[in-house]
Structure 1
Amino acid sequence: MECLKLDSSDFFVEGDAIDSPLDIHLESDSLAATKAVPDHRRYAQLHCSNAPDPPPLPGTSYGARRSSRKAKTCSRVPEEVLDSWDKLFLEGYQADLRVSIDDGTEILSHSCVLGVKSPVLRAMLEDAKLKHGFRCIRISGAPSDAVHVFIRFLYSSRFEQEQMKKHVLHLLVLSHVFSVSSMKTVCIDQLERNFLAPDNVVDILQLAGLCDAPRLSLVCTRMIVGDFKTVSLTDGWKVMRRVNPSLEQELLESLVEADTKRQERAKRIEEKKVYLQLYEAMEALIHICRDGCRTIGPRDQALKGSRAAVCKFPACKGIELLVRHFSTCSVRVPGGCANCKRMWQLLELHSRMCFTPDTCKVPLCRHFKEKMQHLGRKEETKWNLLVCKVLESRGTMGFISARTKFSTLKPDGRSHAAPRLVGPV
């Protein structure tokens, strides 16, 4: 009699940890304020039922909720206010600052607005020189249209989509250099949603590394790994290989890692299919031995050959052929018949999933139950892991206490805890 040979390295036990921290806010100020109410006031309230309740003391939760409600109500800026800021920038009314660009263009603006929005610009304004009543600073390395969009955003947080599409890379650099986090967030979002493509993703990835944009770097890396064949043919990839070989090495390692995960995922899916087939085989085996089906079944049951089309067990036909072969096979030497060995393995697997061996009609169920007591711990663990995987393939682990550990007694008198997974199929 052959037993199923299992290798523990072929199975994977996965467990997901759930971490859901609770955010608890204790209103200590309110409690302290309540305790601070004088005793004579409480005495007056008890003896004067018509007296109104005193107003809440400063620092109570009522005041905190009221202030937070006001903050939510006034959080949205009306369009009229944004229009006014836009008009202030476009008309340059009472401007006191000139921003010079590389092409000689000058943009009129207000030093107080730029200084409030950007700490870098504030430092530049403190060192700026006065010329004809205007402070003068210079922004280099970007076209004048991009600088115009950048400064307008500092006023009203507005931009035109066409201008953003044309100058989004320059705007990302400007927002990083001058520490304007709101614009940096907008640029990253626009790049992720609208402007990433295989022909520019390598350039944007390098720019994201220089501008400290980890989320954008991750999105670019995923696009490169997902469509590596197309991206590797672009000019950006060829230039990157020449000037930045370390980045190429990182991307290739990410590609290998993603491919490995993809293969592992496919392997797990295939393993689950095998375990599901074993589960269906166990169901069909019990069905044939208990109720009978088609042309085979227990002696005390009528055969159902005329109702073969209505059988709801998909593995019934295969198990029926296997049982019929097993009962008539003349090969009795060890390792001779592969079909008979498969049948032995199915019978042993059933015995480990059956919890009623005394009344079970599947052949050799009690025999294999007794055989379990003499197996080694390593062999027992392999079988238990197989049973666990078969039950998990149909989501039955939640209804069956399949992970319960039972204490067994060794022939030498020593006891040890071995996982014995038992349950109905």
Structure 2
Amino acid sequence: MCEGARTAVCGGAAAHDVDVVTTGGRKKIPAHSSVLASASPVLACIIERRQQDRESGKIGGRTVVRIRGVSDDAAAAFVRVLYAGSRCGELGGGAEEDSDEDMDKYAVQVLVLAHAYQVAWLKRCCEVSIGARLTADSVVDVLQLAGLCDAPRLRLRCTRLLAKEFKAVEKTEAWRFLQENDPWQELDILQRLHDADLRRRRWRRKRAEQRVYMELSEAMDCLLHICTEGCTEVGPAGQAPAAKPCRRYATCRGLQLLIRHFSQCHRKSCARCQRMWQLLRLHSALCDRPDQCNTPLCTRFKTKEQEKADDDDDKWGLLVKKVKAASVFSSLATRKQMTSSTLC
């Protein structure tokens, strides 16, 4: 900030051409019309209208801009921050400390002014400053302020804190006052919390489903590996098992035990055997070379699937698509890791 502008904000007489008058006219802040007009389109319109009235002779003296609805100190802080610049935290010299102090003391009132005068960058800074000091006692009032000032980031911050500490918020005086005087606002808050909880549950369910598809994809890779190369306990027909475990031995070991049980069990209602049948069927649905595949029953399952292709089996088809997509994502991630390690 230039030295002349800083002097003007502090009340000096360095070529200022506008007087900012606060509530009740008890305080006048000398300022520059170019600085105010460049910071706010609303202030630019006000200053232009005042200057036209002065040129036409309707009013005399210096151009006056009135800032009402907040305390005198908050209005002065608003003007100082406008002079400080449009980048919070990147101010020069003592202006940075002054701006930070103003934001700490008057962030709520400055947010109202930033919204009224359409100063977008200052509005974002106020949202960050207020959101950083949110507590269970103040979150209800701040949420209402965020709604009045159209501050979506601050509203989201409040909603997250409400969802996290709702039991503490329910005990506050602000929440009790809201229940007694504004039941529609209470209902809106409860609906927001309910929607957030539903979204969180859907996200967790989707993550759990994705893990299942990834595990099935890994099981398909291990099954193909066992039937083609063999592992420590099970190998292809006519070959001895491998001496060393593979890199996916945690999954491969369980699959080998399941294969050994499947080859020895003769019960018709065995749950483990049914699981193995499903894995073999899933492999057959994913396999693109059944004629060259060493996996047992691959060709048989492939033929059966083709014979009943006209039958509706949406769930099975969706499962095959999901596992295939998980396999593609897994291969891409592996390839990316290998590329990164090669570059390093």
TM-score range (shorter-chain normalised) is 0.7 to 0.9
Larger deviation: 255-264 or 217-226? 217-226
2: CA distance between counterparts of 1:112 and 1:252?
Answer: 46
Please provide the CA RMSD for this pair: 3.7
**Is 1:375 the counterpart of 2:313 in the alignment?**
no
- Distance in 1 between the 2:134 and 2:21 partners? 31
Once the two structures are superposed, what CA deviation does each residue of 1:40-87 show, in whole Å capped at 9, x if it has no partner? xxxxxxxxxxxxxxxxxxxxxxxxxxxxxxxxxxxxxxx4xx220121
RCO higher in structure (CA 8 A, sep ≥6)? 1
CA distance in 1, matches of 2:176, 2:30: 42
Using a 3 Å threshold, how does the CA distance of structure 1 residues 377 and 92 change in structure 2: closer, same or farther?
Answer: same
Residue by residue, what CA displacement relative to the aligned partner does 1:2-23 show, whole Å, maximum 9, x if unpaired? xxxxxxxxxxxxxxxxxxxxxx
| Contact 1:283/1:313, CA 8 A, preserved across alignment | no
Return closer, same or farther for 1:268/1:245 CA change in 2, 3 Å cut-off. Answer: same
1:391 CA drift (Å): 2.4
Contact 2:50 2:63 in 1 (8 A): no
Partner of 2:256: 320
From 153, 161, 176, the counterpart of 2:100: 161
The one-letter code of the counterpart of 2:21 is V
- For the pair shown, the structure with the greater C-alpha radius of gyration is 1
Q: Does structure 2 retain, via aligned residues, the 8 Å contact 1:225–1:251?
A: no
* C-alpha contact (below 8 Å) 2:222/2:251 kept by paired residues: yes
- Distance (whole Å) between structure 2 residues aligned to residue 168 and residue 89 of structure 1: 19
1:398–1:210: structure 2 CA closer, same or farther, 3 Å change rule? same
TM-score by length of 1: 0.61
1:218 maps to which of 156, 166, 170: 156
CA 1:124–1:251 in structure 2 vs 1: closer, same or farther (change >3 Å)? Answer: farther
Does structure 1 conserve the Cα–Cα contact (< 8 Å) formed by 2:232 and 2:241? yes
Residues in 2 aligned to 1:361 and 1:138: alpha-carbon distance in whole angstroms: 85
Residue 142 in structure 1 maps to residue 70 in structure 2: yes
Higher helix share: 2
Describe the SS at the equivalent of 2:10.
helix
Q: State the secondary structure of the residue aligned to 1:202.
A: helix
Q: How does 1:184-263 map to 2 (within 5 A)?
A: 184-192=123-131, 194-263=132-201
My pick for the range that moved more, 258-267 or 110-119, is 110-119
Deviations 1:157-193 (A, max 9, x none): 565322321122122223444555564454334334x
Give the equivalent residue in structure 1 for 2:21: 99
CA separation of 1:386/1:85 partners in 2, compared to 1, >3 Å: closer, same or farther? same
Return the letter of the residue paired with 1:173.
V
Shifted more, 218-227 versus 247-256: the winner is 218-227
> Could you give the per-residue CA deviations for residues 137-176 of structure 1, whole angstroms, max 9, x where no partner exists?
8655432222222344455656532232112212222344
Aligned residue for 1:109? Answer: 30
How far is 1:308 from its partner?
A: 5.5
- Report the CA distance shift for 1:299/1:108 in structure 2 as closer, same or farther (over 3 A): closer
Matched, 1:85 2:2: no
How far does the alpha carbon of each residue in 1:276-312 deviate from its partner, in whole angstroms, 9 at most, with x for none? Answer: 22223323333333333334434421244xx365674
Letter of the 2:216 partner, please give it: L
Q: Give SS of 1:109's match.
A: strand
1:386 and 2:305 aligned: no
Structure 1: segments with no counterpart, 5+ residues: 1-78, 400-425
Question: In 1, are the aligned partners of 2:23 and 2:66 still within 8 Å (CA)?
Answer: yes
The residue correspondences of 1:386-425 to structure 2 (distance < 5 A) are 386-395=319-328
* Mapped pair 1:279 → 2:217: yes
Paired residues of 1:372 and 1:380 also in contact (CA < 8 A): no
Unaligned runs of 5+ in 2: 86-94, 333-344
Letter paired with 1:109 = P
8 Å CA contact 1:279, 1:390 repeated in 2: yes
Shift of 1:371: 0.8
Query: Contact conserved, 1:291 with 1:297, CA < 8 A, in 2?
Result: yes
- Between the two proteins, what is the percent identity of the paired residues? 36
AA partner of residue 144 (structure 1): D
Name the SS of the counterpart of 1:395 in structure 2: helix
Q: Amino acid of the residue matched to residue 166 of structure 1?
A: K
